[in-house]
Chains A and B, each alone.
Chain A
Amino acid sequence: AQSVAQPEDQVNVAEGNPLTVKCTYSVSGNPYLFWYVQYPNRGLQFLLKYITGDNLVKGSYGFEAEFNKSQTSFHLKKPSALVSDSALYFCAVRDGRRTGTASKLTFGTGTRLQVML
């Protein structure tokens, strides 16, 4: 079974400071990892994904994430936070084996990011 853990319910950071939202995963095969953001009363917006290759993945709106296989982590980062980044962030994993269950995304519980002036 695959699972995702987001250990922090909320992360508070001052505008202009770097931010990190943590994610660890568990999957049997190769992990395919995704980050999504959700604004109030909206669906999920795709930020970035790791499939293979460079461990540092760059995505939308200046976000990036670092894949660490030994620590089974995929933390989301941004060098300088904006107030408009305040939202709910979800990490998700999919098993890389090409089976009938390949399409299922398993999400973490979400981390609320609050960026303060």
Chain B
Amino acid sequence: KAGVTQTPRYLIKTRGQQVTLSCSPISGHRSVSWYQQTPGQGLQFLFEYFSETQRNKGNFPGRFSGRQFSNSRSEMNVSTLELGDSALYLCASSAGFAGGSQETQYFGPGTRLLVL
């Protein structure tokens, strides 16, 4: 099976702009989670989508949003970009069965966002 894919891989934006990142999960996986990775804060959970519904959310401001489509592909959007949003954004997919605690999340290569 193909792995998790993320597009674009690299992105440069300026403060105040908005950005949309895309994630295609492993075929058959219904759960998509997003994480932000920065040198200062490490890996932080943004949100998780399952069957087009947000199932869980981390502690990020409302500028960060996401959605999931019927084919399980997911997008995340960051509006009014700030310098501190520069990070590696990682998407992870899992099968997404009820509860799902035992499931392994498989990560994509990430999108590196630089905000100038």
Number of interface residues of A (CB under 8 A): 29
Provide the residues of chain B in CB contact with A97, threshold 8 Å: 101
Residue of A nearest to B49 (CB): A103
A98 and B42: CB pair below 8 A?
A: no
Cβ-based interface call for B90 (8 A) = yes
Majority secondary structure of chain B interface residues (helix, strand, loop or mixed)? strand
- A110-B42 CB under 8 A given contacts A34-B104, A43-B108, A103-B48: yes
**Docked complex Cα distance between A64 and B8 (Å):** 34
Given contacts A43-B90, A103-B31, A107-B42, contact A36 B48 (CB under 8 A): no
In the bound assembly, the distance between CA atoms of A98 and B56 in angstroms comes to 13
Q: Which single member of B92, B104, B112 contacts A49 (CB below 8 Å)?
A: B104
In the complex, per-residue mask of A19-32: 1 if CB is within 8 Å of any chain B CB, else 0: 00000000000001
A95 touching B107 by the CB < 8 A rule?
no
Look across to chain B and name the residue whose beta carbon is closest to the beta carbon of A45. Answer: B107
Q: Is the interface of A mostly helix, strand, loop or mixed?
A: loop
Number of residues on chain B facing chain A (CB within 8 A): 29
Q: Is the CB of A102 within 8 A of B42?
A: no
Question: A51 near B102 (CB under 8 angstroms)?
Answer: yes
Residues on A with C-beta less than 8 A from B98 are 98
B65 within 8 A of A: no
Binding site for B on A (CB under 8 A): 32, 34, 36, 41-46, 49, 51, 90, 94-110
Q: Can you report 26 residue pairs joining A to B where beta carbons are below 8 Å apart? A: A32-B102, A34-B105, A43-B110, A44-B92, A46-B105, A46-B106, A49-B104, A94-B101, A96-B102, A98-B99, A98-B101, A99-B99, A100-B56, A101-B56, A102-B99, A103-B48, A103-B55, A103-B101, A104-B45, A104-B56, A104-B58, A105-B45, A106-B45, A107-B42, A108-B42, A109-B42
For the complex with contacts A34-B104, A102-B99, 11 further pairs of A-B residues with Cβ separation under 8 Å are A32-B102, A34-B105, A36-B107, A41-B112, A46-B106, A46-B107, A94-B101, A104-B45, A104-B58, A105-B45, A105-B105
